[in-house]
Amino acid sequence: MAAHQLIVGGQRSGKSRHAERLALQWAATPGHQVSVLATAQAHDDEMRQRILRHQQDRPEGFDTIEEPLHLCEALRAHASPRRLLVVDCLTLWLTNWLMPMSGEPHLEDWRTECAALQQLLPSLTSPVIFVSNEVGWGVMPMGREVRAYVDELGRLNQLIARQCDRLTLMVAGQPWTQPVQKDLE
């Protein structure tokens, strides 16, 4: 398994399921553990149902750590060479920072956290699988805030991809995986 990898795709493309399959392969080695860093927040009934379904579908033996904002802190706290960390998902993590239900966006704090993540990943002792949506292929959003969000998610996915060894695009439940081309930076 590559040190870090990014799995992107549209909604219901099979991103989380693929991350779980890879994590099960990791966990098959004696002494290896898997922790899922879940970023979702349950602000309504529909989201509570989504979270519950993800929890129920998650393979037995996977630890779950709920961390909607401070991803660097959680990665640092749970990292070890024999523990795979699955971050599911970057899309909701960004949403929690830029579109919080409790008020105004925290853009400066977001930028600080993002820079910290970029610095942390090369030295992190755990391999990490990041899950994120690819939302920039559709129609250009009408609202300024939504366009800004789509742009920011695209930048975040690029930042994370540069820190990874493998990139997987999920299409209709099928993974298309390739090594990250470091010379494109």
Q: Alpha-carbon distance 68 to 49, whole Å?
A: 17
pLDDT, residue 53, reads 82
CB 55 within 8 A of CB 64: yes
Span 23-73, pLDDT tens digits = 999 999 999 999 999 998 887 888 788 878 878 887 888 999 999 999 999
Q: Does 2 have pLDDT greater than 70?
A: no
DSSP annotation string for 32-99: -EEEEEE-----SHHHHHHHHHHHHHSPTT-EEEE-SS-HHHHHHHH-BTTEEEEEE-HHHHHHHHHS
Mean per-residue pLDDT over the chain, rounded: 90
The residues carrying an active-site annotation are 54
The residue ranges of every structural domain in the chain are: 4-79+90-125+133-139+148-184
The model carries a pTM of 0.92
For residue 170, give the nearest of 19, 34, 27 by alpha carbon.
Answer: 19
Span 89-126, pLDDT tens digits = 999 999 999 988 777 777 889 999 999 999 999 999 99
3-state secondary structure of 27: helix
Span 137-165, pLDDT tens digits = 877 777 888 888 899 999 999 999 999 99
N-terminal to C-terminal alpha carbon distance within the chain: 23
pLDDT, residue 1, reads 47
Give the residue-averaged pLDDT of 9-18. Answer: 92
CB 53 within 8 A of CB 91: no
How many percent of the chain have pLDDT more than 70? Answer: 98
Q: Alpha-carbon distance 68 to 90, whole Å?
A: 10
DSSP annotation string for 149-160: HHHHHHHHHHHH
Q: Alpha-carbon distance 139 to 26, whole Å?
A: 38
Q: Which fold has domain 4-79+90-125+133-139+148-184?
A: Rossmann fold (3.40.50)
Number of alpha helices (DSSP H) and beta strands (DSSP E) in the chain: 6, 7
3-state secondary structure of 175: strand
pLDDT, residue 185, reads 57
- Using 50, 70 and 90 to split pLDDT, how confident is the model at 184? low
